[in-house]
Amino acid sequence: MQPTSPSTWSQRFESALHPSIAQFNASIGFDIELIEYDITGSQAHAQMLAHTGIISAKEGEQLVAGLEQVRQEYRRGEFTPGVDAEDVHFAVERRLTELVGDVGKKLHTARSRNDQVGTDTRLYLRDQITQIQHQVRSFQRVFLELAEQHVETLIPGYTHLQRAQPLSLAHHLLAYVEMAERDWQRLGEIYARVNLSPLGSGALAGTTFPIDRHYTAELLGFDRPYANSLDGVSDRDFAIEFLGAASLIMVHLSRLSEEVILWASEEFSFVTLKDSCSTGSSIMPQKKNPDVPELVRGKTGRVFGHLQALLVLMKGLPLAYNKDLQEDKEALFDAVKTVKACLEAMTILFEEGLEFRPARLNQAVAEDFSNATDVADYLAAKGVPFREAYNLVGKVVKTSLAAGKLLKDLTLEEWRSIHPAFEADIYAAIAPQQVVAARNSFGGTGFEQVRRAIEQTKERLSDASKDPI
Ligand code: ARG
């Protein structure tokens, strides 16, 4: 095998890298994702070098303009660096020098790839966080709209996947809006810790040049520079925190997926999947499969894996930079892509890919014992101690089941034989609509509460000041 030439490092090296090792070492295959952030970061660095007099104003301008040219070439598809460039940082610097000549060699004054890669990764993640926050908002808006349509549609509520108490479908949907709200907030909180500048930390110890780290931090929109250069180049907490937030988004989407998969089954039949968001089977012509939620549920594991990978990556690293850190990127990039794709797919699914079946849902809640608690509550409201009422109703359910009857089918005599406190209004009290309406405690499924929750959510989502920058 032909060795590659030692083009990128100092003359200290006498022989070239083995081609397989060059390939093994290179990150250009994936860190090309950072190229525009690398260029932006380098432009700020060049401006700072000129601002502090480390290079001349003219040289600063040449570097900024040259970097802009590299950006345009990349956008036009004319700049496609290969393995020989090792990584995106070398690739950009090399192309810059080809374009602007020797002045390009001044760009790397007073910085290292260690603070450079940290800067690029933060600029990238900052953008991605904002984009994901917007996606979370779109997801919430679709759910809110659906909730408005389905305040009085009922759906069985489950605990232990056993019918528990009936719910307003809107209440069920709004639970996901709340989860998404925490996701949105969490991303915002993490943003504050992503938005610090390691630029100017140098390789690990700072630099002998009179740089101005506050200047570059400000140019790049960072809140402030890292206070400690060692921490600046070796901190990846922000990436782990993001992967934690991304994992929780996936937990929420995966739970929702599981529900849709159940709802779309013949057994539940709560939703119909539309052709635009379901697929057929190659062998069973009757099938319509919920591939979207299944894929989301499946992809969730990948994001958890990336979180785990980064935690393990970091736990044994001595300060400061170690090449292990190059491994953070694929995990981060894949998690970002996965979360974005899943949020988009689930938003589309609920916007236009499925339809709830109100008639079927309302019928479902009328055909079970999920109003049993309401019978106990009825007695308790008439002065029977709740535990005693609970035991009585347990017996009623048992005998009704044996007789193949539902509670609504019991005659008034039968009710009275259980307890004399029962009166004719028991039938209204256990009708599903009333059962739901009556749960009017704060945050409950009662229609009044749900309507209030919808109004409050609407207000929250329409407040532009609460949207990301
Ligand atoms: N490609 C490297 C990374 O992603 C850039 C930093 C390299 N630094 C070094 N000291 N070798 O981490």
Residue ranges around ligand 1 (CB below 6 Å): 27, 31, 87, 113-114, 117, 321, 323, 325-326
Rounded-to-integer distance, Cα 126 and Cα 208, Å: 30
Q: Partners of 273 in the beta sheet?
A: 354
Token pair belonging to 93: 């610097």
The shares of helix, strand and coil residues in the chain, as percent rounded to the nearest 5, are: 65, 5, 30
Return the number of other C-beta atoms located less than 10 Å from residue 464's C-beta.
6
- Closest by CA to 92, choosing from 126, 68, 60, 56, is 68
Active-site residue (options: 265, 281, 417, 462): 281
Region 260-286: what's the mean pLDDT?
A: 89
Tell me if 324 sits within 8 A of 288, measured CB to CB: no
CA quadruple 57, 63, 68, 72: dihedral, nearest 10: 150
Indicate the pairing of strand 224-225 with strand 196-197: parallel
Give the pLDDT score at 149. Answer: 98
Mean pLDDT of 316-324: 98
CA distance 266 to 391: 35
Nearest to 334 by CA among 294, 304, 292, 354: 304
How sure is the predictor about 6, in pLDDT bands with cuts at 50, 70 and 90? very low
- Nearest protein CA to atom 3 of ligand 1, as residue: 326
The whole-angstrom separation of Cα 144 and Cα 161 is 25
Give the pLDDT score at 3: 45
Q: Are 422 and 412 a contacting pair, CB within 8 Å?
A: yes
Residue 283 has pLDDT above 60, yes or no: yes
DSSP assignment, residue 225?
A: E
pLDDT at 465: 62
Which of 6-15, 229-238, 441-450 shows the lowest per-residue confidence on average (mean pLDDT)? 6-15
The pLDDT assigned to 369 comes to: 92
Q: Give dist(CA 104, CA 447) in Å, integer.
A: 67
Q: Is the pLDDT of residue 469 over 60?
A: no
Residue 233: CB atoms within 10 A of its CB come to 26
Residue 51 designated active-site = no
- Are 242 and 183 a contacting pair, CB within 8 Å? no
DSSP one-letter string for 90-115: HHHHHHHHHHHGGGGGGTTTT--HHH
How far apart, in whole angstroms, are the C-alpha atoms of residue 220 and residue 138?
Answer: 28
pLDDT tens-digit series, residues 167-183 = 999 999 999 999 999 99
Residue nearest to atom 12 of ligand 1 (CA): 326
Tens digit of each residue's pLDDT (9 = 90 or more) over 14-39: 889 999 999 999 999 999 999 999 99
Respond yes or no: is residue 134 known to be catalytic: no
Name the average pLDDT for the chain. 95
Least confident of 42-46, 247-251, 336-340, 362-366: 362-366
Identify the CA nearest to 242 among candidates 327, 333, 168, 151. 333
Atom of ligand 1 nearest to the CA of 325: 12
For residue 7, the model assigns a pLDDT of 60
Please determine, for residue 287, whether its predicted confidence score (pLDDT) is greater than 90: no
d(CA 159, CA 400): 22
Model pLDDT, residue 468: 58
Which domains are assigned to the chain?
A: 20-109 (1.10.275.10), 114-364 (1.20.200.10), 365-464 (1.10.40.30)
- Mean pLDDT confidence for 300-329: 98
Distance CA(81)–CA(94), nearest Å, equals: 10
pLDDT above 90: percentage of residues in the chain: 90
In terms of DSSP H, where are the helices of 386-437?
386-403, 412-418, 426-429, 432-437
| 3-state SS assignment for residue 354 | strand
Take residue 11 and report the two structure tokens written for it. 């003359």
Give me the catalytic one of 15, 20, 160, 441: 160
pLDDT in tens, 399-449: 899 989 999 999 999 999 999 999 999 999 999 999 999 999 999 999 999
Residue of minimum CA distance from atom 11 in ligand 1: 323
Residue 278: which pLDDT band, with cuts at 50, 70 and 90? confident
Question: For residues 330 and 198, what is the distance between their CA atoms, to the nearest angstrom?
Answer: 20
Report how far ligand 1's centroid is from the alpha carbon of 227 (Å).
21
| pLDDT higher than threshold 70 for residue 2 | no
Per-residue model confidence as pLDDT tens digits over 61-85: 999 999 999 999 999 999 999 999 9
Confidence label for 250 from pLDDT (cuts 50, 70 and 90): very high
| Pair 152, 168: CB distance under 8 Å | yes
Residue 119, H or E segment:
helix 113-149
pLDDT for position 285: 74
1 pLDDT higher than 90: no
- Confidence band of 4 (pLDDT split at 50, 70, 90): low
What are the residue ranges of helices labelled H in 150-206?
169-194
Going by C-alpha positions, the residue among 189, 199, 197 that lies closest to residue 223 is: 197
445 within 8 A of 175, measured Cβ to Cβ? no
DSSP code at position 5: P
**Cα 338 to middle of ligand 1, angstroms:** 25
Residue with CA at minimum distance from ligand 1 atom 4: 326
Provide the β-strand partners of residue 356: 271
Query: 469: which 2 tokens?
Result: 């920058």
Instruction: Report pLDDT digits (tens) over 328-376.
Output: 999 999 999 999 999 999 999 999 999 999 999 999 999 999 999 999 9
Q: What is the pLDDT of residues 119-168, one digit of tens each?
A: 999 999 999 999 999 999 999 999 999 999 999 999 999 999 999 999 99
Q: What are phi and psi of 352, to 5 degrees?
A: -145, 0
> What pLDDT, on the 0 to 100 scale, is given for residue 11?
79
